[in-house]
């Protein structure tokens, strides 16, 4: 359609109708065999476009979440490093402002016995959260939002989430797993929508209405991606905090005698960790001999 209408006749529906009518009257499409072939070609093209959008969506998801950005090729890695540094500087400034606001409100409460207007404090907190929930370590907000879950659980409960999560997943109730799976699927759908935006983008060269369509798809995908990432991160963190003790019970750990969540986290991490195997062969013998 884009090639048929072009830039000069981008919205000329009559021209498009005439061209479709002309195609329909060609000998190849007037026979049953030709119609079957045409239908098969249309379905194959649609399936190929869908697969391409999914593939691009996977690439977008990996890029946006950026868990492995330190292993990216040189130019991309340098760009990501610079972006992380900028986001970290902005976050630090906002976090200091928020802390000063907290101190000011606490001082006013101690001095007057009255609570101050919470609006400035909430605005300062929102400014921090708008950059990142934790100190940035990823080049994107969505990547940091998911990464912040692991950081919080490590800090608060000494829980190694990447290590514990596969085991924890097996003891979660079905309703909890359903909610987390739905959030993960929403994340995938959002990135697939971004893949469609990338597929439509080249059409702008020959058909200008593709430009606003591409922009609309990209903006919608971006909004849905942030929402899905936030929902997924919240659910994973909530599941880890609620059901860690259930995992301890399954592993035979008596958590009632432990000092607190941090001790339980250390115990789980130790129990689920696997020792790095020693290398075998002559070099291992020499290494073992030299180490004593």
Helix, strand, or coil here: 207?
Answer: coil
Tokens 């919240």 belong to 234
Give the separation between CA 152 and CA 132, rounded to whole angstroms: 13
Burial of 40 (0-12, 13-18, 19+ CB in 10 A): exposed
Nearest of 235, 247, 242, 232 to residue 168 by alpha carbon: 247
pTM above 0.85, yes or no: no
User: Residue 84 is encoded by which pair of tokens?
Assistant: 């992380």
Quote the radius of gyration of the chain (alpha carbons, Å): 28
Angle at 286 between CA 281 and CA 289, to 5 degrees: 130
Length of the chain: 292
pLDDT at 2: 47
In Å, what is the CA distance from 275 to each residue of 252, 270, 278? 20, 10, 9
Mean pLDDT of residues grouped by 10 in the chain (292 residues)? 49 54 56 66 83 94 94 94 97 96 89 86 94 95 96 93 95 96 96 93 79 92 96 96 92 73 84 79 52 44
Helix, strand, or coil here: 15?
Answer: helix
């Amino acid at each position: 359609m884009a090639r048929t209408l072009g830039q000069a006749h981008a919205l000329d529906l009559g021209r498009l109708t005439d061209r479709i009518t002309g195609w329909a009257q060609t000998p190849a499409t007037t026979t049953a065999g030709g119609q079957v072939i045409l239908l098969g070609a249309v379905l194959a093209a649609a399936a190929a476009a869908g697969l391409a959008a999914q593939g691009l969506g996977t690439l977008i998801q990996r890029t946006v979440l950026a868990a492995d950005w330190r292993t990216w090729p040189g130019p991309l890695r340098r760009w990501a490093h610079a972006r992380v540094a900028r986001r970290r500087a902005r976050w630090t400034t906002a976090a200091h402002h928020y802390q000063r606001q907290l101190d000011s409100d606490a001082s006013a409460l101690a001095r007057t016995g009255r609570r101050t207007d919470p609006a400035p404090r909430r605005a300062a907190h929102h400014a921090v959260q708008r950059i990142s929930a934790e100190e940035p370590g990823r080049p994107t907000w969505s990547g940091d939002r998911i990464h912040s879950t692991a950081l919080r659980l490590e800090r608060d409960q000494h829980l190694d989430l990447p290590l514990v999560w596969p085991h924890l997943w097996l003891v979660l109730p079905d309703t909890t797993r359903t909610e987390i799976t739905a959030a993960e699927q929403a994340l995938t759908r959002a990135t697939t929508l971004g893949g469609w935006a990338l597929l439509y983008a080249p059409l702008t060269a020959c058909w200008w209405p593709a430009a606003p369509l591409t922009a609309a798809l990209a903006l919608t995908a971006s909004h849905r991606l942030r929402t899905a990432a936030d929902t997924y991160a919240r659910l994973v963190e909530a599941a880890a905090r609620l059901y860690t003790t259930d995992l301890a019970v399954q592993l035979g750990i008596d958590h009632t005698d432990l000092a607190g969540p941090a001790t339980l986290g250390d115990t789980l991490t130790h129990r689920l960790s696997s020792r790095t195997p020693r290398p075998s062969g002559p070099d291992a013998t020499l290494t073992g001999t030299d180490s004593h």
